[in-house]
Amino acid sequence: MAVTLGVIFILLASFHNCDGHLSFASYYGDHMVLQKSPDRAVLWGFGPEEAQVTVFLSGPVTQKTLVTVTGGTWRITLDPVDAGGPYNVTATSQSSTASLTDVLFGDVWLCGGQSNMYFKTSQIFSASEELALSAKYPHVRPFMAALNMSETELTDLIQVELPWFVPTANVLAEFSAVCWLFGRHMYENLKYPIGLVESCWGGTPIEAWSSSRALQQCGLEQTEDSPKERNSVLWNAMIHPVLNMTIKGAIWYQGESNADYHQDKYSCSFPAMIDDWRMAFHHGSGGQTALDFPFGFVQLSTYEKLSTDDSFPNIRWHQTADTGFVPNPRMKKTFMAVALDLPDETSPYGTIHPRDKQDVAYRLTLGARAVAYNEKDVPFLGPFPTQILSTQMYVNITYDQAISVTPSRDIFELCCPGIWAPCGPKSFWVPAQIMQWGPTTIQLSSLLCQLSGEVAAVRYAWKDWPCEFKGCPVYSDSRILPAPPFIISRYASKRSIWTSY
């Protein structure tokens, strides 16, 4: 089917190129948002070969550009335009005219991933109240690509699911909740237009969203599994076509499908995909999208309440390139929303699809403000250990910030291997009770390790479903940001923070 659709696209492009018809690429439209200054927005489309095209921008400022159709397409890069609008964009040739109306300039964010990004605004908690607010945000403009696959890299989208629109409850109901809520929060903070481009598909692994270049870096070969697991098919059809668009950044919610598919490769494949997207968008936009554009993501929430499987904890760790937090040296200019404290046992869409997307989006917003917009004094990282001190009686953990703590008998675990060895999922782990705590420290009992030897590693929240809703033991002092899960070994840690006496 993907090959057939790709052929149809090529035929349609050929039709555009030879019938004298001038058009914009599929993801340009009335009500859209183009990237504001200091970056320069790219406009492109189809036309008859060698036709002379004049592109007019009219509104608060005006621009006029001449370009020749080459290879069936035309393309211009506007001079920088400040946030605001509305504008009209008109492309004319001797025989045809194409126009866009009510165009705004602001920041454009791409929203990608699988089903929790695809999760609709109509499905969240308090959906009716959220949808009723839509009319208050006419300058937050969504767009949604249709679900399509291709075996080859496409120039334009095969289909558009939701063209750019001014938010109304009926249409917004079908749009990504995380994407919308993130955009709404960002508009409230920035006070200028936000464009949201949704391109995601439920049940898809990262391999489908990655180019062959990125996959080769991680030794991932082409597979013959189900169609959505074929390498690069969604990169080809749903990401590659929009590379010409100048964007501010991207947010991402994916990883569930890799819990049982190339799980051990995710610490390579996820950072590699981010790096490759950055390079590709920078190149595709003629250098207008930043080579290090900000990339935010949601760390996996929960799935099976009583599961003893390590798949979700492992993916959460791999999402940070096995560091535990972002930004980090491998994943620069990234930000993360921790979501393991937001389970939804009664979700009618399955426990893997929690309905609280408001907290997820808000936490992403904090990261974007700090990382993408360089706002100072915006806390966006949950507490993370900076020092671990172990004795025969206790383990003392010092965090990088003030913490809020509630008692727990088993959220922390200790590895007691009895021999010198790095600790892993199959090692002997025992629960460690929180004995006491201070403004930045937690003391754990290590008594259960005494029979088998010294403490070799400590981990936190290393379960699929570690706690109830907003009920994890360790948060920031404000209780807004949960501590992310971690696993730190005395022998194999990337960070030398362990001391023993």
- pLDDT tens-digit series, residues 68-102: 999 999 999 999 999 999 999 999 998 899 999 99
How many domains does the structure of the chain reveal? 2
Go through 241-263 and write b for each residue having 16 or more CB atoms within 10 A of its CB, e for each that does not.
bbbbbbbbbbbbbbbbbbbeebb
Quick one: 285 and 418 in the same domain?
no
Does residue 278 lie within any of the structural domains? yes
- pLDDT tens-digit series, residues 350-370: 999 999 999 999 999 999 999
Residue 444 to residue 194: CA distance in whole angstroms: 46
Domain that residue 354 falls in: 105-372
- Token pair belonging to 209: 């969203």
Quick one: 136 and 259 in the same domain?
yes
Does residue 1 lie within any of the structural domains? no
Instruction: Output 426 or 276, whichever has higher pLDDT.
Output: 276
pLDDT at 494: 54
Domain boundary among 372, 394, 422: 372
Tell me the pLDDT of the chain averaged across its residues: 92
Residue 430 to residue 104: CA distance in whole angstroms: 57
Quick one: 326 and 391 in the same domain?
no
Cα distances (angstroms) measured from residue 193 to each of 32, 79, 137, 184, 297: 10, 18, 9, 10, 22
Quick one: 325 and 393 in the same domain?
no
Q: Which residues pair with 395 in a beta bridge?
A: 390, 444
HEC per residue, 145-175: ECCCCCCCCCCCCCCEEECCCCCCHHHHCCC
- Region 437-454 average pLDDT: 88
Quick one: 268 and 196 in the same domain?
yes
Quick one: 234 and 288 in the same domain?
yes
Quick one: 344 and 449 in the same domain?
no
- In this prediction, residue 229 has a pLDDT band, given cuts at 50, 70 and 90, of low
pLDDT at 416: 86
- In this prediction, residue 110 has a pLDDT band, given cuts at 50, 70 and 90, of very high
Does residue 29 lie within any of the structural domains? no
- In this prediction, residue 436 has a pLDDT band, given cuts at 50, 70 and 90, of very high
Quick one: 391 and 453 in the same domain?
yes
Q: Which CATH number goes with the domain that contains 110? A: 3.40.50.1110
Backbone φ and ψ for 95, nearest 5 degrees, come out as -120, 0
- pLDDT tens-digit series, residues 148-166: 999 999 999 999 999 999 9
Query: Where do we find the tokens 């007691």?
Result: 416
- pLDDT tens-digit series, residues 244-283: 999 999 999 999 999 999 999 999 999 999 999 999 999 9
Does residue 357 lie within any of the structural domains? yes
Quick one: 223 and 177 in the same domain?
yes
Does residue 334 lie within any of the structural domains? yes
Model-wide pTM > 0.75: yes
Domain boundary among 372, 406, 424: 372
